[in-house]
Amino acid sequence: MDLHGTARHRTAREVRPRAHWVLLAVLLPTLAAALLVQGYARHMFGSTPDGAVAASGEAHAVPAEVTTGGPLIDARGGAVRTLAPAPKTVALTFDDGPDPVWTPKILDVLAAHDVHATFFVVGTQVADHPGLTRRIVDEGHEIGMHTFSHAELAAVPAWRRQLELQESQLMLNGATGTTSSLLRPPYSSTVDALDDPQWDVLREASAEGYVTVLSTLDSEDWRRPGVDEIVARSTPPDDAGAVLLMHDAGGDRSQTVAALDRLLPSLERTGVTVGSVGETTGIEGASGPAPKAQAWQGRALLVAFGASTWILRVLTAALLVAGALAVGRSVLLVVAARRHRRRSVDRWGPLLPPELCPPVTIVVPAYNESAGIEAAVRSLVASDVVVEVIVVDDGSTDGTAELAESLGLPGVRVIRQENAGKPAALNTGIAAASHDIVVMVDGDTVFEPSTVRHLLLPFTDPEVGAVSGNAKVANRGGLLGRWQHIEYVVGFNLDRRLFDLAECMPTVPGAVGAFRRSALLAVGGVSEQTLAEDTDLTMALLRDGWRVVYQEDARAWTEAPATLGALWRQRYRWCYGTLQAMWKHRGAFVQRGRAGRFGRRGLTYLTLFQVLLPLLAPVVDVFALYGLVFLDPLYVIGLWLAFLCLQLATSVYAFRLDGERLGPLWTLALQQVVYRQLMYLVVIQSVWTSFAGLRLRWQRMERHGSLEVPVASPEPEEPVRAR
């Protein structure tokens, strides 16, 4: 993975990375299709035992020869005939399998008594256990269809009835290479219980080539009444032939296994022959080899079903991981914020009066910043400490330099250079700085009068090399502005409190940060190797052994993107640049001291919560839709609301810590649905771009000049004080 972007790589302007969107467009429908298959197979599965049959309805359309005939109904070709096992014979049948626990035990009992049976299998069970299905056939037993998902055919629409029969047959074709024309509809019983809807289903099945096999004896083993009761109910009351219904799946079948082991020798002693449906009725053509095309189609379906099962397991694990990460992060942030707040009280001693503060150099890199440069420079000059303001015009074409010079403000210098990028502009300002403390501020940001003084306070500790301020969104109008405001307060500032506490601050934001000039020179200034020059610089300082801390009272007001397109470009650059910096400084994992703490704490946190969690988020959303369709929607909605409440509680706490009004939080639910998805897509594109080895150029955000010079610090709500 090349995150540094060497010269041999093309830039984003030359090649737009489209392949990942194609991949995503294929991947998400594939996941949705896999979940659809699993949802249909697993959660539309009829779980009521076959013996628990509802009362029959009207039976005016059922022919009399059917209601008084045998349990095998063959209406193929239009003519209706019924069959029954020969006298003193029992057709032994099992429903609902194959089951990995009970079917092998039943097969062992049948083998011990040299008896064959007919297994009416469910398509989803065959898909889960194709090897066991092959064993049934290999040991000479007969297989019949019991639909794909154990659906009550008379209660579902015609399209689903056809699907149930086709898919179950294909599963058998793929698993065993054979076909079967025997069908037992779930929840069927005896011929005299047939009603008109069930008869319609049997005629449809006959048109597809199926012979319906009902029962005359029900062991009721699904009730688990005890071995003696099962044996008694499975013993024919007279010498007439019978079709016995038992189960090899659907629950604990230990009583069935034990009863079968007693029943078979008991019937043999009374002269009753036990066998499969074909053996006891003489029906021909019940099974045979599947056509090659059909067998290959069945194998493909088995592979697809197996893949969807695997995908569901992976998604379930991903959902659990994502949920644990999200909840764990919220808890961790709140606990850390409370400790940080408690520690921050008088942490650096009292705020120095302005006249005792050392002078400061403020560097403003500017490229086409005419919309906001005046407000930015005027706010910096209005600082309550002595400042030197250096505006480095990086080849602007909109008169930025001329505008800054025309202000005629004291202590302001304008340096012009050819366009070389933001890192070069910052390095020019650092080289020209007259003072040891250098504040870096973007051209779209304004300071409060006391911001610089608050930034200076932590430098009383000689180990502090950089201080992160508190960036605030100034243009909070509209949903987009409110969402970014929430993100800055909750996502960025809570993170910074945690990073400060753990001594692993990965980023001093370009909007508001202060540095020791000696520390900057020690790490070679601002690097041009990544797009996130502020993150790269901060990580370099940490690896050089400097402390980087957070000052929540050093507020700066920045202009956030006003359109979705501008937001996308900004966050894409941030995210991609952060990935570059993480890759560049991955060696911190194995370092000692402050650098090692940053590597093992900071980089791990970024990997888990800013890379892995967003990558898992689309999976969570797809799974949520799956839950709404196939699971209990109230349960799914309840989980989503619980997660939203957790987010809301965390946000309220963060807003109180920052002294912010809670009004914008009414948009939090919409933010989770819309804004959050956009940020996840940004991460996906950034990760793809990183692995593709593409290099992006530094992109400037369009300015709208919405900032004003603050005349005084706003009066925030009283912040929460940890007790």
How many residues make up the chain in this entry?
723
* 294: number of Cβ within 10 Å: 17
Residue with tokens 């790269």: 536
The torsion of the CA quartet 533, 538, 539, 542, rounded to 10 degrees, works out to 160
Q: Of 464, 471, 490, 585, which is closest to residue 529 (Cα–Cα)?
A: 585
Query: How many Å apart are CA 95 and CA 429, to the nearest integer?
Result: 81
* Contact criterion met (CB below 8 Å) for 441 and 408: no
Identify residue 277 by its one-letter amino acid code: V
Catalytic entry in 95, 128, 394, 500:
95
Identify residue 494 by its one-letter amino acid code: L
Query: How many Å apart are CA 216 and CA 118, to the nearest integer?
Result: 15
Query: How many Å apart are CA 154 and CA 497, to the nearest integer?
Result: 62
* Contact criterion met (CB below 8 Å) for 221 and 235: no
- Mapped onto helix, strand or coil, the DSSP state of residue 347 is coil
Tell how strand 287-289 and strand 178-180 pair up. antiparallel
Distances (CA, A) of 510 to 485, 537, 555, 569, 588: 17, 10, 13, 16, 23
- Mapped onto helix, strand or coil, the DSSP state of residue 81 is strand
Q: Which residue stretches of 437-563 are H helix?
A: 451-456, 478-486, 494-502, 517-522, 533-543
* Contact criterion met (CB below 8 Å) for 559 and 372: yes
Q: What angle do CA 573, 574, 577 make, to 5 degrees?
A: 80
Catalytic entry in 247, 454, 485, 585:
247
> Number of H helices and number of E strands within the chain?
26, 20
Q: Is 247 a catalytic residue?
A: yes
* Contact criterion met (CB below 8 Å) for 658 and 552: yes
Identify residue 566 by its one-letter amino acid code: A
Q: Which contacts of 716-719 are long-range, i.e. CB under 8 A and separated by 24 or more positions?
A: 716/658, 716/659, 716/660, 717/656, 717/659, 717/660, 717/661, 718/659, 719/341, 719/656, 719/657, 719/658, 719/659
Identify residue 685 by its one-letter amino acid code: Q
Q: Is 239 a catalytic residue?
A: no
- Residues known to be catalytic: 95, 247
